[in-house]
Amino acid sequence: MELTGIVPPLITPLDSDGGIDTRSLSRLVEYLLAGGVHGLFVLGSSGEAASLDAEERTSVVRTVTATAAGRVPVLVGVIDTSLRRIFTYLDMAKRLGASAVVALPTYYYQTNQAEIIEFFRAIAHRSPLPLVAYNLPQMVGVSIEPDTVAQLAREGIIGAIKDSSPDLSRTRETLLATRDVPHFSVLTGLEMVVDLAVAMGVAGAVPGLANVAPRHYVETFELARAGQMDRARVIQEQLTTLFAITRQGRAAQSYSAVALSGFKTVMQRTGFL
């Protein structure tokens, strides 16, 4: 499966009791599809996967795959520190109709590149679905190095990577390291430089802010891919201004809490949650 385009990492709406708000989640899926997105990614960082139990994760995946009904690929995060639990999530994703699964390197305990390779091999050998790697060094504590990505891609272990490293030069190195691998996709997770990343050669983007403004990100992607960089830059700058909602909150809150609450507040006030 070759991934391209805008693939929003969905937020996970919760009800007043802290349970999964499946009705709002279905509305969000329809809103994103109406905005022209090319895929959906559930149970990532924006989806608060690390805070959800197995039953809640299953509810999210069931709701999104049923609502999307095959109109776009659905990627499911299998983020965990335990391979045994990851294997159960793989089976769940397959059973509920997901298109691919997405995994981080194991976190909490620091790993080296050789261990990262073995970790992804173990997941891929057990997975009934294509595997996408997720590079998020600012949260995991270790980066998936470009040479590691290239090795995993050449072995057929991963078919794509979401690169959320804040260093765009590292994304370029990953593009160069994998450019000889047929049908391998590098996607950026950086909301504020989608235009530049597409011009650099990424196949798409996974921007959290696309929960709020999917059509604008689709337009930015399509314009940049067509080489209309001046027009793409105008929209990207508007999105960069909008991204300020991720910095509006109580001083005592962490950035992650403020960012997610910003997305959810906008979605709530516009009637989607």
Is the Cβ–Cβ distance between 67 and 23 less than 8 Å?
A: no
Q: 27-56: per-residue pLDDT in tens?
A: 999 999 999 999 999 999 999 999 999 999
What pLDDT score does 251 carry? Answer: 47
What pLDDT score does 254 carry? Answer: 47
Give the pLDDT band (50/70/90) at residue 273.
low
Q: What is the mean pLDDT of residues 9-16?
A: 94
For the cut 80, the answer to whether the pLDDT of residue 265 exceeds it is no
What pLDDT score does 190 carry? Answer: 96
Domain that residue 26 falls in:
5-269
Catalytic residues: 134, 162
DSSP type of residue 211: G
What pLDDT score does 1 carry? Answer: 75
Residue 204, amino acid: G
Is the Cβ–Cβ distance between 44 and 77 less than 8 Å?
A: yes
Q: What is the mean pLDDT of residues 74-91?
A: 98
For the cut 70, the answer to whether the pLDDT of residue 108 exceeds it is yes
Which of 99, 44, 49 lies closest to 69 in space, CA to CA?
A: 99
Q: Label the pairing between strands 40-42 and 160-163.
A: unpaired
Q: In this structure, is the dihedral angle defined by the CA atoms of residues 115, 169, 43 and 63, taken in order, positive or negative?
A: negative
What total of structural domains would you count in the chain? Answer: 1
Q: 129-159: per-residue pLDDT in tens?
A: 999 999 999 999 999 999 999 999 999 999 9
Which of 3, 68, 6 lies closest to 219 in space, CA to CA?
A: 6
Is the Cβ–Cβ distance between 42 and 61 less than 8 Å?
A: yes
Indicate which CATH number applies to the domain containing 88: 3.20.20.70
For residue 102, is it left (φ>0), alpha (ψ between -120 and 50) or beta? beta
Is the Cβ–Cβ distance between 184 and 178 less than 8 Å?
A: yes
What's the whole-number average pLDDT of the chain? 93
Residue 216, amino acid: H
